[in-house]
Structure 1
Amino acid sequence: MSVERLSFAIQNGGLTLPAEGRIALVGALAEEGLPFEADRCEVIQTFRPEVDAWEAQGAPLRTALEASYGAVIVTLPRARDLAEAWISRAEAAAKGGLVVVNGAKTDGIESIAKALKAKVSIEGQISKAHGKCLWFTAADALSDWARPAMARNASGDMTAPGVFSADGPDPASVALAEALPDTLKGEAADLGAGWGWLSREILKRDGIKTLHLVEAELTALDCAKINVTDPRAVFHWADATKWKAARGLDVVIMNPPFHVGRKADPKLGQAFVSAAAGMLAPHGQLWMVANRHLPYETALTHLFRDHSEITGNTKFKILHAARPLRKRR
C-alpha cells in the first residue's frame, strides 16, 4: 500500500518532510487515509468517487495544484503520460520544496524512477510493499514532462493525459453507436460519458430531447464540454453508480468501465446496470456494450423484464434491456 510505503520512508528511510508549509497529496486514495495531520494536507483529486470518499473523511480537497507547497507527494497513476504530467506539475508547485514520488511496480514506478535519476538528484529512496518511494528537491528539470491540461487528438477532439481512449473513440463505443436505432427519443443519459464521443453519436438522433453526460473524471468531463456543443447536452461530474435523475429517463446508454486500477472487476459494470435500472422510467430502455466475457446477463435478468443481445462479435456484445422491474432510488 502506498501509505505504508510512505510511512516507512518517513520513519525508517530518511524522508524528512518540511516542518512548515502545506503538503499536497496528488492522486492519494481515500481508503488508505491521510499519512499525517489533516491541517497540513491538501488532497488533489479529480475522480468523483475518491472526492466523495475524501469529503466523508473531512479531508481538505482541491481539483488542481496551486503554488508554494512545502512538499508535493505524488501517488503514481497507471498512465505514463499522466504520471509525467503530475510529477512535472508537482515540481512546479513545490518551488524549491520537496517532491515525493510513491508508486507500485505494477504502475510503472521502476521506469519512472530510472527516468527521474537521469534528470534530478534523488535524495532518498526506499523499496517497500511491492513498490518504491523516492524524493528530490524541486528545481526546473522536468519541464519536458509537462503536458497541457487538454489537447486535440489526431481526430481533432479535445482529450487529456490519462483520459480513457484519449487517442480516439473506443472500439466498443463505436460498435455500440452503430447498433443504436435512429428512433431513440426522450430524455436520455450516457453513463460514464468520458470525453464525449459516444454522446455526440447519440445526439445525432433528433428524437433525443435531453442527454445527461454523467462522468466521474473531471478532466474527461471538461473535455466533453468542449467536444459536445449540442444545447441538449447537460453535464454532470458524478459517480454514475450514485447519480440520480430528476425524473425517470426514457433511455440509458453506456459503455461501462470494468477495471479498478489494473484489476478487472465485473462488479463495477454490474453496479452501472443496477444504477441504470434505478434511473429509468417504467417504459425505459437500456443500451450497453460489454466485452464478450463479462457476465452482465444475470444482473439484467434480475433488473429488467426483457433483455437480449442484439448484435456483437468475438470481442464485444451489444445488450438491450427494457422495462425495469424495480426502482432503486
Structure 2
Amino acid sequence: MLSAQSQLLKRNLDLFENGKWLIINPTDAYFSDELITFNITFLYQYFDIFAESVKVIPSCEFDSRDVSSATNGFCIKQKVGMHHHLFSPFIPSGETYTDILIYLPKSKAHAVMLMAMAHAALSEGGRLHIVGENKGGIKSIANAITHIGPSQKVDSARHCSLITISPSEVAQPFNINDWLDESTFEVAGFSWQVASLPGVFSHGELDEGTRLLLEKCSHRLSGSVLDFACGAGVIGACLLGRFPHIDLTLLDVSALALYCAAKTLTLNDQAAMLIAANGLHGVSQKFKHIITNPPFHTGVKTDYSVTRRFIADSAHSLLPKGTVQIVANRFLPYPGLLAEVFPSTHTVAQNNQFSVYLSVSA
C-alpha cells in the first residue's frame, strides 16, 4: 500500500518525466512501481524498505573497520528494471542529479542534513523537492532551508505537502565530518567515546534508558554478544570496552546508525561485525547474549511491532541458556510479551521511567 506521501506524489507523476532523478528514503517499497518506465535512482538509509524494494537481500554484513575507513561508509547496489536501488548512509561521491526528492524524516536535524547533502549533489540548475506529512513538520521546513533558495508548494493532499526548492547558489561540498558529533560518556566509572549523526537515536547524548541498562546489565558476558538496534554503537562499544573478550556484533536497520557505530568503534580502538537487517530477519547466527534498547516508534507514531517481532524471533537467535537483556519505558507491555516466549523472565532494575528485564532461553 502506498504511504500518504507516495499517494500525493502519484498525483504528480509528470514531475518525473524529465531529468535525472534521485529519490531519498521513500516510506514504502511500492511507489517505484508507479515510475516503472522512468530511469530513477533510489537511495535508502533504512534497510527494511530497501530489502522490500529489491526483494533479494535478507541482510548485509560489514566489517566495522571497512565502513569507518571508507569515504561514504558503504553502498549496496541493486538494479531492478530501469531503477537503481542503493542502500547507503550517503549519496555516493561524484554522483550528480538534476532533481532530488527527499521524503521528510521525523527529525528536523536529519532533514536539514539531507537537504545539505542533496544540494551538494545537484547539477547546475537542478531542483530539490521534499514531501512529508503536515504533522511531521513539512509546513515549517521551508523556514529551515531559506538559505538554499526560494521554495514553492507544488501540491497538497492526504494531509501531506510537496515542496520544490530552486537553489540560488552552488552548494558547498558536503562533508560528513561537519555533521558528526563526538562525545565522551561515562557509566559506572567506565568512559568511552561515541560518534553520532542527526537522524540516529539519541544523537549527541546518552539516553537515560541506555544508561540504566549499562549500569544494571549482567557482568557475566562471554562468547557471542549482539547489540540489537545498536544505533550509534553506544551499548556495544561500552560492553566491548568493559569485556574485551566478547565476540561482538551490532545490528540496525539504519545505514546512518551503522556508519556511526563503525566510527564509534574506531574512536575506541575496537572492531566488530555490523549487520544491516530488518529485525532479526535473515540473520542466521546464534548468540549467547542479546542486549538492546529497542525502538518503539515508527515515524511519529508509537509502534510496538519491531519489539514484538524481536522478542518472538530472539528465542530462535539465542544459544541454549542464552540471555536477552532489554530496557524499556515502564508503561510498555514487555514483561508479558517476554514471559510468553521465555521460560524465565525477571526485572533486573527499575526507576520512575524505565525497567530492565532479563530473560533466559530454554
Q: CA deviation at 1:201?
A: 2.2
Among 60, 80, 87, the residue aligned to 2:108: 80
Among 222, 225, 228, the residue aligned to 1:185: 222
Match of 1:279 in 2: 317
Q: CA deviation at 1:46?
A: 1.8
Letter in 1 for 2:111: A
* CA RMSD, 1 decimal: 2.5
Letter in 2 for 1:128: A
CA 1:203/1:121 → structure 2, altered by over 3 Å: closer, same or farther? closer
Letter in 1 for 2:308: Q
Match of 1:113 in 2: 142
Unpaired stretches in structure 2, ≥5 consecutive residues: 57-79, 185-192
Match of 2:21 in 1: 23
Q: CA deviation at 1:116?
A: 4.0
CA distance in 2, matches of 1:124, 1:192: 36
Q: CA deviation at 1:23?
A: 1.0
Q: Tell me the TM-score normalised to structure 1 length.
A: 0.87
Match of 1:33 in 2: 31
CA distance in 2, matches of 1:130, 1:41: 26
Unpaired stretches in structure 1, ≥5 consecutive residues: 325-329
Among 291, 294, 306, the residue aligned to 2:332: 294
Among 85, 88, 97, the residue aligned to 1:61: 85
Matched residue SS, 1:81: helix
Q: CA deviation at 1:124?
A: 4.7
CA 1:240/1:124 → structure 2, altered by over 3 Å: closer, same or farther? closer
1:252 counterpart = 2:251: no
Q: CA deviation at 1:135?
A: 1.1
Matched residue SS, 1:203: helix
Range moving further from structure 2, 260-269 or 30-39: 30-39
Q: How big is each residue's C-alpha offset from its partner over 1:45-86, in whole Å with a ceiling of 9 and x where there is no partner?
A: 121111111112945212233533121111111111111121
Letter in 2 for 1:33: F
Matched residue SS, 1:278: helix
Letter in 2 for 1:55: V
Q: CA deviation at 1:22?
A: 2.2
Matched residue SS, 2:231: coil
CA distance in 1, matches of 2:280, 2:260: 21
Aligned length: 318
CA distance in 1, matches of 2:54, 2:134: 29
Range moving further from structure 2, 28-37 or 101-110: 28-37
CA 1:234/1:317 → structure 2, altered by over 3 Å: closer, same or farther? same
Match of 1:327 in 2: none
Using CA pairs under 8 Å that are at least 6 residues apart, name the structure with larger relative contact order, 1 or 2.
2
Q: Tell me the TM-score normalised to structure 2 length.
A: 0.80
CA distance in 2, matches of 1:307, 1:208: 26
Are the aligned partners of 2:148 and 2:167 in contact in 1 as well (CA < 8 Å)? no
Letter in 2 for 1:98: R
CA distance in 1, matches of 2:282, 2:16: 39
Q: CA deviation at 1:299?
A: 2.2
Are the aligned partners of 1:307 and 1:321 in contact in 2 as well (CA < 8 Å)? yes
Percent identity, aligned pairs only, is 22
Letter in 1 for 2:25: G
Matched residue SS, 1:282: strand
Match of 2:155 in 1: 126
Greater percentage in strand: 2
CA distance in 1, matches of 2:154, 2:211: 45
